[in-house]
Amino acid sequence: YKASRFSPLMSVVRHTVITLPTPVNISTWWNFGSLLGVCLAIQIFSGLVLSLHFTAHTDLSFYVVIQSFGDVYYNWWFRALHANGASFFFIGLYLHVARGMYYGSYVFKEVWSVGVVILLLVMASAFLGYVLPWGQMSFWGATVITSLFSALPIIGGDVVIWLWGGFSVDNATLTRFFGLHFLLPFTVAGLAGLHLFFLHDQGSSNPLGVSSDYNKVVFHHYYVLKDLVGVCFFVGPLLGLVYFNPWLLGDPENFIEGNPLVTPHHIQPEWYFLFAYAILRAVPNKLGGVVALAVAVLILLYMPFSPQTAIKGLSFYPWGKALFFSLVGVFILLTWAGAKPVEEPYVVVSQVLSFLYFSYFLLIGPLTRIQDKLL
């Protein structure tokens, strides 16, 4: 306490993680904020270690990654931790967003908007990082995704050439992707600090959706210990995956060096992008698919401006809860459909699921307002 009187930094830490007034009834679903902070720290640390032994060159990257497995002490562990840590990061992100949607946390406009920007930057960073090992799926994934910008009217072709640094995905592309992948996590860390600032300024929501100004406790030690337990339950499975089956979530094609003359039979991104990939493929028109892909994530920015309900969140709205859990099922099915070939019946299934996905955001407001009137 004495140190905090003389050190502005210690004062900030004290008011952030020790004396912060916190609603007494927040549940385990609120643990994912701290878990995501742990995931970000793991990704930055493991990424820094991996960057010390990486060469951003199309002729060397693949072989440097493979060779470093045996030649660099524990490099395999850091790469497995980094690759699987990305998957766990997205599990936490999606659950964190789902909790915010269910409990109405989007009413805090600044907190929610910064959170959506963080989600977008993490997705961009994950895509850039997936390209770096320069395997088959890395190369062709970069080719397919960057080519989508060619659908933009007038400037599309120039944007693609600017992204590639030439007329094809080549050495210049890999170099700039490595630089951006290195810088973006630090940008995410800065935005996470801004996210926390707005959260502490506006206060945290709670499961009941009511004001908790008169029923709060200090953050330490009640929620510090709770968050530590959550970290153990989250990091435990991550380490189990790293030690016992580190490549379970990876694509076997990525253990083959990228070859522009050989196209993989089925090009697909990592599992955490499959829902958006299914929506992209569901639209026959290229520009329409790109727009649908962007809107699939950007539609989250619309939620703070959607019609507000009498009670914050969906806990007391049976129809709203049914619609929300239907959205969860649609999200899972879209992930499944995105991993399937572009053929029938998967194309039609993706189209139906995409329609249901966007329908949620259009229906949830009017549906809950109807229930408000009935109550």
- Binding-site members are 82, 96, 181, 195, 200
Three state DSSP letters for 34-68 = HHHHHHHHHHHHHHHHHHCCCCCCCCCHHHHHHHH
204 is known as an active-site residue = yes
Of the candidates 53, 57, 200, 286, the residue annotated as catalytic is 200
Strands 216-218 and 21-23 come out as antiparallel
265 is known as an active-site residue = no
Detail the residues annotated as belonging to a binding site for heme b.
82, 96, 181, 195
Of the candidates 125, 204, 205, 350, the residue annotated as catalytic is 204
Q: What 3-state DSSP class applies to 257?
A: strand
270 is known as an active-site residue = yes
How far is Cα 20 from Cα 243, in angstroms, rounded to an integer?
37
373 is known as an active-site residue = no
What 254-257 contacts at long range (C-beta under 8 Å, 24+ apart), as own/partner pairs, is 254/133, 254/135, 254/136, 254/137, 254/138, 255/135, 256/135, 256/136, 257/62, 257/63, 257/134, 257/135, 257/136
Pick from 205, 131, 190: nearest CA to 165: 131
Detail the residues annotated as belonging to a binding site for a ubiquinone.
200
220 is known as an active-site residue = no
- The distance of Cα 335 from the centroid of its chain, to the nearest Å, equals 14
Of the candidates 53, 216, 226, 286, the residue annotated as catalytic is 226
Of the candidates 227, 253, 350, 354, the residue annotated as catalytic is 227
CB 137 within 8 A of CB 267: yes
Of the candidates 46, 251, 253, 270, the residue annotated as catalytic is 270
**Among all residues, which ones are annotated catalytic?**
200, 204, 226-227, 270
